[in-house]
Chain A
Amino acid sequence: MHDPDAEDVAKAGRGDRDAAARLIARHSAKLLTVAGRMLSSRAEAEDAVQEVFLRLWTHAGRWRPGSAKFETWLYRVMLNQCYDRLRRRPTQPLEEAAEVADEAALPGVGLDDGQMGREIARALETLPERQKAAILLCHFKECGNIEAAEIMGLSVEALESLLARGRRALRAQLQHLKGFAGDGP
């Protein structure tokens, strides 16, 4: 299997700054997008991506291209970073959680793009972390199911089940957005 990153990883491990810059340019934006949606916090996502790249530099010299692609390892490290950060967060009090998820209070019609985006982001935020990760990998990283399953350390069937449940939950949460383009084909 050809791994487009393998050569740059090895070079970066030996101190080649240009190779490091190429890896950063290739991966940082997408990692930041997925981490940002996972953590719902821009600052925390930036910290997480910094940490992922530090781990990359630490391990780059010993990277051996094998059966797994480098990118798979990179995203797995990023997801573990996100899971750790989510679990370290204090539990939200019930009253606050209820305020956030109060769908009945939402107008449903006449939302502008910004409001619509915030509604969707909020619905995504309420998904269980593994369902959210599966959806984000498939949508924002444009992973196939096999690659996403490999990143998450799951079987393809388990990933498909997470995806199906996550999408169903997302739809149920956003059903109140009338006139939303997802209703039709």
Chain B
Amino acid sequence: MTDESSDRTFADRALKRLPAEVPPPGFEAALLAAYDAWHARRPQGRWAALGAGLRQFSESIWPGAPAWAPASAFAFALLLGAGLGVTLPSVLADEQPTFSLEQPAAFSLSAADAAQEDM
């Protein structure tokens, strides 16, 4: 028997020794009562549909998570993108070599020009 399969056998036997979990009396009834309460206060109308749509969208991103979790992730991504969009162009612009038509060039293409400058 390989190590892995003997670990598996060991774990299976160990877990079988755990005492069985029995739902407390009235647990199913409590769940059903919660269903009744939900059904009674279920909102109707256009805003309810909008809220339901948003919840469905958030559920598709992160099932079971509270609404703030995907909303925070989205807000963080938005802030990061906006921050980069604002700061990056000016940072890149600072790194470009600058020149002006009103100032003489600071370099020469020929040795003659260099000699003239020496005189």
Contacts and interface: CB of A to CB of B under 8 A. Distances in A.
Given A52-B64, A79-B64, A20 B14 contact: no
Nearest to A53: B31
A10 to B, nearest CB: 15
Interface in B5-30: 7-15, 17-19, 21-24, 27-28, 30
Interface string B35-61: 110110000000000001001100100
B103 to A, nearest CB: 62
Nearest to B20: A33
Given A46-B27, A58-B55, A171 B11 contact: yes
Where chain B touches its partner, the secondary structure class is helix
Nearest to B38: A57
Q: How many residues of A sit at the interface, in one of the four size bands?
A: 35 or more
Interface in A72-112: 73, 76-81, 84
A15 B24 CA distance: 26
Contact of B35 (A53, A79, A166, A167): A53
Chain B interface residue count: which class? 35 or more
Majority secondary structure of chain A interface residues (helix, strand, loop or mixed) = helix
A73 B63 contact: yes
A168 B7 contact: yes
Interface in A54-71: 54-55, 57-59, 61-62
A6 interface: no
A84 B65 contact: yes
B11 A167 contact: yes
23 contacts: A15-B39, A17-B32, A21-B28, A24-B28, A28-B27, A28-B28, A29-B21, A32-B23, A36-B21, A37-B18, A46-B27, A55-B59, A57-B38, A58-B55, A59-B55, A84-B66, A120-B18, A121-B18, A139-B12, A167-B7, A167-B10, A171-B7, A171-B10
Interface of B: 1, 3-4, 7-15, 17-19, 21-24, 27-28, 30-32, 34-36, 38-39, 52, 55-56, 59, 62-66
